[in-house]
Amino acid sequence: MPRSLDRHSVNTATLGYQMPIGETVDAIARAGFGGIAPWRREVEGGDVDVIARRIRDAGLRVSGYCRSTYIPGTSRAAWAANVDDNRRALRDAARLGAECFVLVVGGLPEGSRDMPGARRQVQDGVADLLAEATTLGVPLALEPLHPMYAADRACVNTIRQALDLCTLLDPARTSHLGIAIDVYHTWWDPELPEAITRAGREGRILAYHVNDWLVPTGDLLMDRGLPGEGVIDLESIGALVRDAGYRGLTEVEVFSHRVWKHPPDRILADCVASIVQGPPTYLQNVR
Amino acid sequence: MPRSLDRHSVNTATLGYQMPIGETVDAIARAGFGGIAPWRREVEGGDVDVIARRIRDAGLRVSGYCRSTYIPGTSRAAWAANVDDNRRALRDAARLGAECFVLVVGGLPEGSRDMPGARRQVQDGVADLLAEATTLGVPLALEPLHPMYAADRACVNTIRQALDLCTLLDPARTSHLGIAIDVYHTWWDPELPEAITRAGREGRILAYHVNDWLVPTGDLLMDRGLPGEGVIDLESIGALVRDAGYRGLTEVEVFSHRVWKHPPDRILADCVASIVQGPPTYLQNVR
The larger pLDDT score, comparing residue A220 to residue A286, is at A220
Query: Nearest by CB to B113, which of A147, A191, A231?
Result: A231
pLDDT of residue A42: 98
pLDDT of residue A277: 75
Model confidence pLDDT, tens digit, residues B28-85: 999 999 999 999 999 999 999 999 999 999 999 999 999 999 999 999 999 999 999 9
pTM over 0.90: yes
Query: Looking at beta carbons, which residues of chain B come within 8 Å of A148?
Result: 146-148, 188, 217, 220
pLDDT of residue A287: 32
Torsion of CA A125, A128, A131, A133, to 10 degrees: -30
Per-residue confidence band for A33, with pLDDT thresholds at 50, 70 and 90: very high
**What was the ipTM of the complex prediction?**
0.95
Q: How many domains is chain B partitioned into structurally?
A: 1
Query: Nearest by CB to A147, which of B147, B156, B233?
Result: B147
For residues B178 and B205, the answer to whether their CB atoms sit within 8 Å is yes
Per-residue confidence band for A280, with pLDDT thresholds at 50, 70 and 90: very low
State the nearest Cα–Cα gap between B221 and chain A, in angstroms.
10
A152 at interface of B, judged by CB pairs closer than 8 A: yes
Q: Can you give the residue range of the structural domain that contains A53?
A: 5-285
A158 at interface of B, judged by CB pairs closer than 8 A: yes
CA neighbor of A97 nearest in space, from A46, A56, A126, A44: A56
For residues A206 and A141, the answer to whether their CB atoms sit within 8 Å is yes
pLDDT of residue B278: 63
Could you tell me the maximum CA-CA distance found in chain A, to the nearest angstrom? 51
The type of residue at B201 is: R
Per-residue confidence band for A281, with pLDDT thresholds at 50, 70 and 90: very low
Residue of chain B whose Cα is closest to the Cα of A164: B190
- Mention every residue, 6+ apart, whose C-beta is less than 8 A from residue A210: A182, A183, A227, A234, A238, A250, A251, A252, A253
- Mention every residue, 6+ apart, whose C-beta is less than 8 A from residue A198: A159, A160, A163
Query: Nearest by CB to B188, which of A147, A189, A287?
Result: A147
For residue B172, give Cα distances in angstroms to B126, B132, B197. 16, 17, 19
Q: What is the 3-state secondary structure (H, E, C) of B126-192?
A: HHHHHHHHHHHCCCEEECCCCHHHCCCCECCCCHHHHHHHHHHHCCCCCCCEEEEEEHHHHCCCCCH
CA neighbor of A122 nearest in space, from A90, A88, A64, A161: A161
Give the integer Cα–Cα distance in Å for B68 and B50.
22
Q: Is the pLDDT of residue A24 over 50?
A: yes
For residue B125, give Cα distances in angstroms to B30, B83, B121, B153, B157. 39, 6, 6, 15, 17
Q: Give me the residues of B, 175-214, that contact A with CB < 8 A.
A: 187-191, 213
Of A148-162, A271-285, B74-88, B210-224, the least confident:
A271-285
B158 at interface of A, judged by CB pairs closer than 8 A: yes
Query: Could you give the percent of chain A with pLDDT greater than 90?
Result: 94
Query: Nearest by CB to A115, which of B157, B220, B233?
Result: B233
State the nearest Cα–Cα gap between A134 and chain B, in angstroms.
27
Contact B190 A161 (CB under 8 A): yes
Give the integer Cα–Cα distance in Å for B45 and B29.
23
Model confidence pLDDT, tens digit, residues A110-136: 999 999 999 999 999 999 999 999 999
B285 at interface of A, judged by CB pairs closer than 8 A: no
Runs of H (alpha helix) within B170-255: 183-186, 192-201, 234-243
pLDDT of residue B280: 40
Query: Nearest by CB to A213, which of B151, B157, B213?
Result: B151
Contact A112 B231 (CB under 8 A): yes
pLDDT of residue B180: 98
Give the integer Cα–Cα distance in Å for B114 and B92.
32
State the nearest Cα–Cα gap between B205 and chain A, in angstroms.
21
A239 at interface of B, judged by CB pairs closer than 8 A: no
B119 at interface of A, judged by CB pairs closer than 8 A: yes
The three-class DSSP label of residue B231 is coil
Model confidence pLDDT, tens digit, residues B5-38: 999 999 999 999 999 999 999 999 999 999 999 9
pLDDT averages per 10-residue partition of chain B, 287 residues: 85 97 98 98 97 98 98 98 98 98 98 98 98 98 98 98 98 98 98 98 98 96 95 96 97 96 96 78 37
User: In the predicted model, what is the mean pLDDT of residues A45-56?
Assistant: 97
CATH number at residue B177: 3.20.20.150
Contact B187 A115 (CB under 8 A): yes
Per-residue confidence band for A2, with pLDDT thresholds at 50, 70 and 90: low
Residue of chain B whose Cα is closest to the Cα of A279: B113
Contact A220 B287 (CB under 8 A): no
Contact B146 A147 (CB under 8 A): yes
